[in-house]
Amino acid sequence: MQIPDEMLKRAEYISSLIKRSDEVLIVTHIDADGITSGSIARITLDRLGIENEVVFVKQLSDSEIEKIADENKFTWFTDLGSGQINSIIDKKIDFVITDHHLPVMDNKRQLNPHSFGFDGSYELSGATTTYILSRYLGNRLFAMNVDLIPLSIVGAVGDLQDSREGRLLGLNRIVIDEGIKRKVLAVHKDLRFFGKQTRPVVKMLEYTFDPYLPGISGNEAGAINFLDSLGIEVSEWKKWIDLSEEERKRAVNEIVKLCISAGIPFKSIKRIVGETYILSHEEEGTELRDAMEFSTLLNATARYGYEDVGLKVCLGDRDGAFKRARTLLQNHRRNLSEGIRLVDEIGIVELENIQYFDAKDMILDTIVGIVAGMCFSKANLNKPIIALARNDEGIKVSARATQRLVDRGVNLAKAIKLVSEKIGGKGGGHSIAAGALIPESEVDRFLKELDRVIGQQLARA
């Protein structure tokens, strides 16, 4: 595979616009892919001697776009912008975009995999798109910025782009291959659970919900029994990376057997083992060594309003900011397991074509989508799952589908955008994961209408 010439030409044009500016405002998204995208942009501009500043937004709403327009600066949108390019142009912002969300139109100032025949939900992320531009902006002195590849892979993994087949696909592979060649990245075949580097094995198993391991997920005693039965010593400090190769093999075999007997679809079982992306220059046993855990660490900062902490870690702080991020990670993990417990309690309501839960103000709107995705393993796999949460501006909607549903015709970004706009809200995202902000009074209509539209998508395919 190769990056298409048209795309490289586009990158060349966009980099010429950036090089011409003497000050750049970087606007990015508050998740792992957004933080890594913003850091890549920032480091790239620093190296060019271009003054810059990174600001984070939860959503690129009209009011945010107005605020940005008021700054009157050349603006580089990373990991967002493609869904709002009309408003950006309307507000006369001097801009460029490196994004992977479904674009509302093509534009010379926008680098987006969708414009070149690639699916931005898994073939290139915000950070890997931004890296492609960064490479163009690089020079020999900084080895064409290839040292930023690991950060970009953290972004792609943070958006779960490897979850489709257990490895990154599409244009992401070009970035990986270069990373391996330049020895900044290593790829291993291993279990794809969160926490291999940092959680005690018991906790790693207990906190795994994708797939849902019967008797083990969310069940500490079950996880201990499972390891005991394999003759693997359970201790408070022993992590997955501390087990012998033989022990790891034994555990993987048993996990696979357990999943088969639980009737988990073969496709999901296949994804249990896959590629793990190792950041060769980071210390072993830390969250930063493994792209999956690095991305979780970043989510744990930005989704709680501490994006500056995540940004500092990406920019190289291994001291104060890193320690703070680790504390935030503990908190994030607690919130995710409490979120899952809450959904168990309130239950998931099934409509004809969708299922939903209403977390009210009991789950933070910025993590309710993560919880929805994690709940999938115990919900109906044949219907998209919709999560509702309250925030200051209205009702935050997070929607997640499975790959199988997408293959059968579901496109959450299109459905959510259509339905939310019809009832005075706003939304977008990807075919497999999307979100919206809607007025509180319209929730029932929204669900009913969404149920209908998803039904149509399934019927049409």
Binding residues vs ligand C5P (CB under 6 A):
29, 31-33, 59, 83, 101, 121, 158-160, 163-164, 194, 207-210, 295-296, 299, 336, 369-370, 373-374, 398, 400, 426-430, 432-437
Q: Which stretch binds Zn ion (CB under 5 A): 20-28, 53-61, 71-79, 306-314?
A: 71-79
Closest alpha carbon to 186 in 253, 286, 281, 311: 281
Pick one of Zn ion, ligand C5P, none as the site partner of residue 299 (Cβ within 5 to 8 A by kind).
ligand C5P
Pick one of ligand C5P, Zn ion, none as the site partner of residue 374 (Cβ within 5 to 8 A by kind).
ligand C5P
Pick one of ligand C5P, Zn ion, none as the site partner of residue 210 (Cβ within 5 to 8 A by kind).
ligand C5P
- Residue 30 in contact with residue 57, Cβ under 8 Å? yes
CB of 100 to Zn ion, least distance (A): 6
Cβ closest to ligand C5P, residue 181 vs residue 341: 341
Cβ closest to Zn ion, residue 31 vs residue 247: 31
CB of 243 to Zn ion, least distance (A): 33
Q: Which residues pair with 356 in a beta bridge?
A: 349, 386
| 33 lies in the binding site for Zn ion (CB under 5 A) | yes
Pick one of Zn ion, ligand C5P, none as the site partner of residue 457 (Cβ within 5 to 8 A by kind).
none
Cβ closest to Zn ion, residue 79 vs residue 123: 79
Please tell me whether the peptide bond between 211 and the residue prior to it is cis, using omega within 30 degrees of 0.
Answer: yes
Residue 171 CB-half CA count within 13 A: 26
- Residue 373 in contact with residue 341, Cβ under 8 Å? no
Cβ closest to ligand C5P, residue 74 vs residue 306: 306
Pick one of Zn ion, ligand C5P, none as the site partner of residue 310 (Cβ within 5 to 8 A by kind).
none
Tally of CB atoms within 10 A around 224: 16
Cβ closest to ligand C5P, residue 118 vs residue 194: 194
| 150 lies in the binding site for Zn ion (CB under 5 A) | no
User: Which phi and psi (to 5°) does residue 93 adopt?
Assistant: -80, 135
Cβ closest to ligand C5P, residue 160 vs residue 202: 160
| 159 lies in the binding site for Zn ion (CB under 5 A) | yes
- Per-residue binder mask for Zn ion (CB under 5 A), 246-275, x = binder: ------------------------------
Cβ closest to ligand C5P, residue 138 vs residue 158: 158
Comparing every residue's Cβ against Zn ion, the nearest one is 33
Cβ closest to ligand C5P, residue 146 vs residue 314: 314
CB of 38 to ligand C5P, least distance (A): 12
Two tokens, residue 104: 């509302």
Cβ closest to Zn ion, residue 155 vs residue 274: 155
Cβ closest to ligand C5P, residue 145 vs residue 335: 335
Tell me, by CB under 5 A, how many residues bind Zn ion. 4
- Residue 180 in contact with residue 149, Cβ under 8 Å? no
| 79 lies in the binding site for Zn ion (CB under 5 A) | yes
Pick one of ligand C5P, Zn ion, none as the site partner of residue 37 (Cβ within 5 to 8 A by kind).
none
Distances (CA, A) of 73 to 17, 23, 50: 13, 7, 13
Pick one of ligand C5P, Zn ion, none as the site partner of residue 383 (Cβ within 5 to 8 A by kind).
none
The three-point CA angle 455-456-458 to 5° equals 65
User: Which phi and psi (to 5°) does residue 404 adopt?
Assistant: -65, -40
Q: Which residues pair with 438 in a beta bridge?
A: 395
| 158 lies in the binding site for Zn ion (CB under 5 A) | no
Pick one of Zn ion, ligand C5P, none as the site partner of residue 77 (Cβ within 5 to 8 A by kind).
none
CB of 428 to ligand C5P, least distance (A): 3
Task: Give the integer Cα–Cα distance in Å for 54 and 5.
Answer: 30
Cβ closest to Zn ion, residue 81 vs residue 126: 126
| 290 lies in the binding site for Zn ion (CB under 5 A) | no
- Per-residue binder mask for Zn ion (CB under 5 A), 119-138, x = binder: -------x------------
- The residues binding Zn ion (CB under 5 A) are 33, 79, 126, 159
